[in-house]
Amino acid sequence: MIAEDASPSKEPGTRLPARLARLARARFEFPRRGQFTDGNRIRLLSTGEEYFPQLLAAIESAQRSIHLEAYLYEDDSIGRKVTEALVRAAGRGVQVRLIIDGFGGGEHIRRLARELQPLGVQIRIYRPERWWRLQRRLFRRLHRKIAVIDQTRAFVGGINVIEEPPDEKGPRLDFVVECEGPIVSAITLSAERLWWTLSLPRLSEPAVPFPRSFGLRTQQPIRGGVRAALLLRDNLLHRRTIERAYTEALAAAQRDVLIACAYFIPGRRFRATLLEAARRGVRVRLLLQGRVEHLVQFYAQHALYGQLLAGGVQINQYTRSFLHAKAAIIDDDWATVGSSNLDPYSLLMAREANVLVRDAAFTSELRARMEQAIATESTQFGPEDLVRRSWPTRVFDWIAFGFTRVAIAIIAQDRHY
């Protein structure tokens, strides 16, 4: 992972050994990834219509630092508003960092890197190499969506920096959580580590000053706050952290499971755990994509519908607009919101970030929004709908699913998924 912008950073440099020592100490002082902390304030934001006003207001109010990560960062009305807010923040002395995936950001973010660097906005591009080189590692992308403001406020979810489609009946259904409290320390540390990794110099380039740290600060618990944890997925130490959190909760489920997922192609272990919960009498419902956005994923997940329906799982297809949510609730006090789909890309290849909340009030709020989507914005897909699918369509379902399995065996080197 390397940075696209090779020009020396305008940030004051620090010595590498001292920088490593600070990160090592933070490993013990800050909440570990996946470790629950108490005293957090977690606010649910539904769709970009709720999220972007809050994000822009937070950027405008920043006094010390801004860190923003996204997979997509479009050159549209939303992207331009965010960019202008970041430039204004840098102009008033705020340290601004932006990390965008090299494939998701495309040529726009490469151009933006050249334009914003002189204005004080520091940019790193995650894996800037082009995909046409067909190297396995290039499929391992940055898919998480994180914003950290002054180390006191953070946003984690599934919404990219992109405007809503103008010709749709409504905004994409997606969620973000706004966080305050000790969990922000874990999010900040994760952001700092990725920035540090992307700032490592290449041997072929002249040495540049190592980037200055934000100056990591531990956030104190908020009275009356909730229990929450940051879940990360990467390709080193936390390959199955998010998937394991799901399967452990599913194995302990007693009454109700409701999962909203844009791309639902889980592996064998996940499906077995889900079906076992249904066999125990747990009500298991899925809210899945009902409109074709990405062809292969859309049809590949239909290949699983027969097994799921036969196992007692209720399937609902979101049809009001595009479903982009990655959220779930289990029983009365387990909820997660983040960037990770339940498909091979998210679970085996991409960097992802979810927030896990153990709180009845938050779970109830998320449940109400998902129940509304099922009741008024979706259609239920039953066995009769499966039968009505034409045989060419069903054949294509299995071709798409087979292609996905083969691709995973080759790219992710996981034949047992």
Range with the poorest average pLDDT among 290-299, 308-317, 364-373: 290-299
pTM of the model: 0.88
Annotated catalytic, 169? no
C-alpha span between 299 and 396 (Å, rounded): 7
Catalytic option among 256, 331, 332, 385: 331
Q: What are 155's strand-pairing partners?
A: 147, 178
CA distances in angstroms from 46 to 119, 176, 339, listed in the order given: 32, 7, 14
Give the model's pLDDT for residue 189: 93
Q: Would the pLDDT of 16 be above 90?
A: no
Catalytic option among 67, 101, 143, 359: 143
CA distances in angstroms from 114 to 59, 91, 120, 296, listed in the order given: 21, 17, 11, 35
Other C-beta atoms within 10 Å of 210: how many?
Answer: 21
Q: Would the pLDDT of 102 be above 80?
A: yes
- How confident is the model over 16-41, as a mean pLDDT? 63
pLDDT in tens, 203-233: 444 444 444 555 667 888 999 999 999 999 9
Number of residues that make up the chain: 417
pLDDT in tens, 299-345: 999 999 999 999 999 999 999 999 999 999 999 999 999 999 999 88
Give the model's pLDDT for residue 260: 98
Q: Would the pLDDT of 67 be above 50?
A: yes
Looking at every residue in the chain, the average pLDDT score rounds to 87
Give the model's pLDDT for residue 136: 56
Q: Would the pLDDT of 374 be above 60?
A: yes
Catalytic option among 101, 150, 234, 343: 150
Give the model's pLDDT for residue 13: 47
Give the model's pLDDT for residue 4: 39
Who wins on pLDDT, 391 or 213? 391
What pLDDT band is residue 134 in, cutting at 50, 70 and 90? low
Catalytic option among 324, 343, 359, 397: 324
Pairing mode of beta strands 95-101, 121-126: parallel
Share of the chain above pLDDT 70, in %: 84
Give the model's pLDDT for residue 2: 34
C-alpha span between 412 and 140 (Å, rounded): 9
Q: Would the pLDDT of 40 be above 70?
A: yes
Give the model's pLDDT for residue 248: 96
Give the model's pLDDT for residue 9: 39
Quote the crossing angle between the two packed helices 183-198 and 16-29, to the nearest 10°: 150
Annotated catalytic, 5? no
Annotated catalytic, 324? yes
pLDDT in tens, 272-284: 999 999 999 999 9
Annotated catalytic, 81? no
Pairing mode of beta strands 334-338, 283-289: unpaired
Ordered structural domains, the chain, with CATH: 16-231 (3.30.870.10), 233-412 (3.30.870.10)
Catalytic option among 101, 234, 302, 326: 326
Annotated catalytic, 294? no
From the CA atom positions of the chain, what is the Rg in Å?
21
pLDDT in tens, 251-262: 999 999 999 999
